[in-house]
Structure 1
Amino acid sequence: MTQATTTPRVPSTEQVPVRVVDSDVHPVPRAGQILEYLPEPYRSKIVSHKVGNTIFYDAPDYAHAFAMRVDAFPEDGGFPGSDPELAFRQLIMGAGSDIGILEPSAKAERLPEWSQAQCIAHNRWLANHWLDSRNNWHQRWRGSICVAVEDPDGALREIENWAGHPYMAQILIKAEPRPAWGDPRYDPIWAAAVKHGLPVSCHLSRGYAETLPTPPVGLPSYNHDFMVSYSLLAANQIMSLIFDGVFDRFPELRIVLVEHAFTWILPLMWRMDAMYEARRPWMEITRKPSEYVKEHIRFTTQPLDYPEDKTELVRAFEWMECEKILLFSSDYPHWTFDDPRWLVKHLPAHAREAIMFRNGIQTYHLPESVPALPGQARAW
């Protein structure tokens, strides 16, 4: 069991350079914690709007470890990601990440106002249980402002409420709601993000059947085909952002796609550029689509897909100019966790600094140094 700390800890006055920015860390509320932060009238109602069932989740060892690192379960019986102190010891001190971007999984409901209420509760919980002076004394955690993009007015209120928080580093949305992100109804969200200098991040999510992204041939049955087909949703959102002119309306907007994979972006850029050359007189965008991708969109490294011949991965990195579009991510505490000490070895030497920390510092407007932690592992 994690020992309670009786003496407040304070950050060191010594600074060390940031060498690893982890763009995907998953905090999880302890049982019952979210309820106390859920706004009324939703807290009093506590009704479920779920219909149908979720896909069959076939992750390795799910029956035993729920697709989590087996060493990430707190000794008091909590779920992995529910103990900030354990996460700090394993990810920051042990693996060598210097700053972790926290991305709670606020549950998506069928009704936009219910989804927004879940986001409100998660934002309050995150501020009080991870970003407070007791749990973020080391200044290594950065949070996400969760909003339900399908409720633009409510999302805007939530962004304005949290944008001034010193440790909120991004806006977090989901990709499933329709219409696509290029629709002008979302413009207030993009405008608020630009106003406050916050990137908009979208993490892969899975919900109940009617909330899942629907491929052309219907819903997937298993997690493995869902994980592959989910990239199609990201591809469509990218095309909507570009071809519907979002980046022309908001030149400072930055979008981060978390856990959507990324090797598929190379052929998509080729295809979009070919269409642009063929249809340029009929398009309102002003640059090649690949230029918008490299300036406005970032992808996280996990999952890192590669063929048996890893030299092909190196060539793909070079062709897509990976140093411009990739952010390191570990996916802690999931079973798919990528240790930064392992990941950095797979990157081209010329791109390592950009991917492991420089792009993260720029994207999230982070400091270049943080208070020193004696005994912290250095990833590279």
Structure 2
Amino acid sequence: MSVQTSQMAPDGMVVVDCDVHVNDLPEYLAPYCEMPWRKSLEILGKNPHPYYLNIPGYSPFFNQCPPLPGGHGHRSVNTPQAMRVELNALGVDYGVLLPDHLLLFALLANADYATAVARAYNRWLVAEWLREGSGLYGAIMACPQNPEDSAKEIERYAGTPGVVAVYLPTAGVEPLWGHRRYDSILAAAEAANLPVMLHSVTVVSPVFPTQLNQFDNHFGRQILGHAFAMMANLTSLMHTGVPARYPKLKIVFTEAGVGWVPYMMWRMDRYHQEMRREVPFLEERPSDYMKRQMWFATQPLEEPVNPKHLVETMEHYGGAERTLFASDWPHHDFDHPRGLARLPLTQEQRRKIMGENALSLFNLPMPERLTKREKQRA
């Protein structure tokens, strides 16, 4: 399966989508799961899945909203061949794959079951999706319920073709990702030179910062859920000195937009100056660590009346150097690669955001369509 990107891809520009979702249904993972939990996935797979992200015992969405007519239907992609066709149509060279239903993985209470599901997901992802030449790359899943086993999984898949990152389930995670119980995961990711990717989703949970039960509708929950989860986990990572203790660790924040980043950077710098004796391991300002070790994905891209304001917002946290393109394909609220065209970016800035940053971060090769063109020019 070769990559044949459509003419939508800008000439001479590589496009890397850092947030593409695979349809990780329990019946797909079951053959890769260990007993006795394979039987659980088989049972879940025989039941209908009428609502998105709502499979009890597997994807516990706890949706409290009554169904309403209209709106957007849920879309999923079931095979790498279909995914490649769809990404080609969007002009995307490479896609970094993340789960869909297992975005809610951190809410699973049974640690043994969660461990087995995480292992099964990783096996399934590598075996079914990460084919050489497909332009599809993946983030293996870390299991917050079992950090020690997750560290072994990272060691096991380090160097596996197609594995380029580690996914940290973020929705409803308790404790937050800066807690020292996760040190083994972060150390293993750093040693393997695999960036960790935090990805949230709106979820109703009694866990900070997702106490969204106070809102009567999804409008309120969606506005707060993703960004609040990222803000809390960023603070958690910083308050235990994760970027200082793991100076080669690369951290990516996805599906929260970018507008919240400067605010958190300024706020952390202010309190670091005031309370630095409480965090003596932070020898530099939090903003220094962020501008060196952290990246922020665009989706869902904020839409100010004046697009120039969004570019100015990006500049406050490092601009094009720290920004990655993400679409959230194939979800209904995805951002098309053409969406960044409305922003007043220079061509160099656009090239970095759309793909060059991701090539370096995930250690990806230059797409063949571009290397061929350069050879022809030479």
Question: TM (normalized to structure 2)?
Answer: 0.82
CA distance in 1, matches of 2:65, 2:344: 33
CA distance in 1, matches of 2:344, 2:363: 23
Paired residues of 2:205 and 2:213 also in contact (CA < 8 A):
no
Q: 1:24 aligns with which of 19, 23, 27?
A: 19
Paired residues of 2:241 and 2:279 also in contact (CA < 8 A):
no
Q: Cα distance 1:333–1:215, how it changes in 2: closer, same or farther (>3 A)?
A: closer
Matches within 5 A, 1:318-329: 318-329=315-326
Residue in structure 1 matched with residue 85 of structure 2 by the alignment = 89
Paired residues of 1:23 and 1:328 also in contact (CA < 8 A):
yes
Paired residues of 1:59 and 1:223 also in contact (CA < 8 A):
no
Residue in structure 2 matched with residue 77 of structure 1 by the alignment = none
CA distance in 1, matches of 2:2, 2:345: 38
Q: 2:336 aligns with which of 339, 343, 346?
A: 339
Paired residues of 2:168 and 2:197 also in contact (CA < 8 A):
yes
Paired residues of 1:261 and 1:305 also in contact (CA < 8 A):
yes
Residue in structure 2 matched with residue 255 of structure 1 by the alignment = 251
Paired residues of 1:52 and 1:210 also in contact (CA < 8 A):
no
Aligned residues: 344
CA distance in 1, matches of 2:344, 2:139: 27
Residue in structure 1 matched with residue 110 of structure 2 by the alignment = 111
Paired residues of 1:24 and 1:331 also in contact (CA < 8 A):
yes
Matches within 5 A, 1:168-247: 168-175=163-170, 176-206=172-202, 209-210=204-205, 213-215=208-210, 218=213, 220-230=215-225, 231-247=227-243
Shift of 1:338: 1.6
The one-letter amino acid paired with 1:332 is: W
Q: Which has the higher helix share?
A: 2
Q: Cα distance 1:341–1:52, how it changes in 2: closer, same or farther (>3 A)?
A: closer
**Pair 1:294-2:291 in alignment:** yes
CA distance in 1, matches of 2:271, 2:191: 32
Shift of 1:205: 2.8
CA distance in 1, matches of 2:194, 2:206: 27
Unaligned runs of 5+ in 2: 5-10, 44-55, 373-378
CA distance in 2, matches of 1:305, 1:85: 31
Paired residues of 1:58 and 1:223 also in contact (CA < 8 A):
no
Q: Cα distance 1:96–1:217, how it changes in 2: closer, same or farther (>3 A)?
A: closer
CA distance in 1, matches of 2:145, 2:206: 12
The one-letter amino acid paired with 2:63 is: T
Q: Percent identical across equivalent pairs?
A: 28
Shift of 1:177: 2.0
Residue-by-residue CA offset, 1:130-179 (whole Å, 9 max, x unaligned): 113xxx5x330101111212310121122122222110110011123222
Cα RMSD, aligned residues only: 2.9
CA distance in 2, matches of 1:119, 1:286: 36
Paired residues of 1:295 and 1:324 also in contact (CA < 8 A):
no
Shift of 1:99: 0.8
Q: Cα distance 1:58–1:205, how it changes in 2: closer, same or farther (>3 A)?
A: farther
Matches within 5 A, 1:125-164: 125-132=124-131, 136=132, 138-164=133-159
CA distance in 2, matches of 1:372, 1:57: 49
Q: Cα distance 1:343–1:223, how it changes in 2: closer, same or farther (>3 A)?
A: same
Paired residues of 2:178 and 2:237 also in contact (CA < 8 A):
yes
The one-letter amino acid paired with 1:161 is: R
Name the SS of the counterpart of 1:32 in structure 2.
Answer: helix
Paired residues of 2:195 and 2:250 also in contact (CA < 8 A):
yes
Shift of 1:213: 5.0
Residue in structure 2 matched with residue 279 of structure 1 by the alignment = 275
Q: Cα distance 1:263–1:140, how it changes in 2: closer, same or farther (>3 A)?
A: same
CA distance in 1, matches of 2:66, 2:164: 31
Quick one: higher RCO (CA 8 Å, sep 6+), 1 or 2? Answer: 1
Q: Cα distance 1:283–1:124, how it changes in 2: closer, same or farther (>3 A)?
A: closer
Shift of 1:373: 11
CA distance in 2, matches of 1:359, 1:372: 16
Paired residues of 1:174 and 1:204 also in contact (CA < 8 A):
yes
The one-letter amino acid paired with 1:270 is: W
CA distance in 2, matches of 1:59, 1:311: 36
